[in-house]
Amino acid sequence: MRLLASTDIALRVLMLLGRQEPGQNVNVEQIANQLGGLSRNHLHKIVQDLAAFGILRTVRGGGGGVSLAKPLSDIHLGALVRVLETDQAIVECFREDGGECVLDSGCRLRGMLRKAQECFYKSLDEHTLADCAAGPWFASINKLAPKASKRSANA
C-alpha cells in the first residue's frame, strides 16, 4: 500500500512540530524549508487540513504560524492516516461507485485486499506519533527559531 504524498508530508510536518517547544508557532515557509523546499502552497493546504481535523492550531498575524493542538502521544497513526487517506481506494473495486473493474463482483481478491488494508490500519492503530518521535534521530531534528516580529526586528 502506498500513502499519498500529502499524507507523507503531513506526518513529517507533525513530527517536525513535535520537536518544537510546546505552543511555539512556526510559519509555513520555515516548515517548507526544513522539509527540503516543499511548495508553500501545497504545504498550506496540508496545514489547513490538519487544522480542520483539530491536530494543528493556526495563528494569523505577526508571531503567528502553526503549532500542535495536542501532544504527539495523543495523535494515533491509524486514525490520522485513515482521515488523510479518505476516498483513496487502493484498488478500483474499492471505489464507492464500484470503479470500472471488469471482473465478477464475487472476485476473491477484493476480500483479500480488504483484509490486508484492515491489518495495515490495525497495525498503525497500535502507535502514536510519539512512538515515531522516539530515539536520538528525533533530537537531531533542528528546532526552528521563532520568527521575529517586524516590531522586534526594527527595535
Instruction: Note the pLDDT tens digit of each residue in 124-148.
Output: 999 999 998 877 766 666 666 555 5
Domains and CATH numbers, the chain: 5-148 (1.10.10.10)
pTM: 0.80
Per-residue pLDDT tens digits for 92-124 = 677 666 667 766 667 787 778 889 889 999 999
CA distances from 120 to 58, 80, 115 (A): 31, 13, 9
- Measured CA to CA, the distance from residue 62 to residue 59 in angstroms comes to 9
**Residues facing residue 56 across a β-bridge:** 68
Q: Give the list of residues 6+ apart from residue 2 with CB closer than 8 angstroms, or none.
A: none
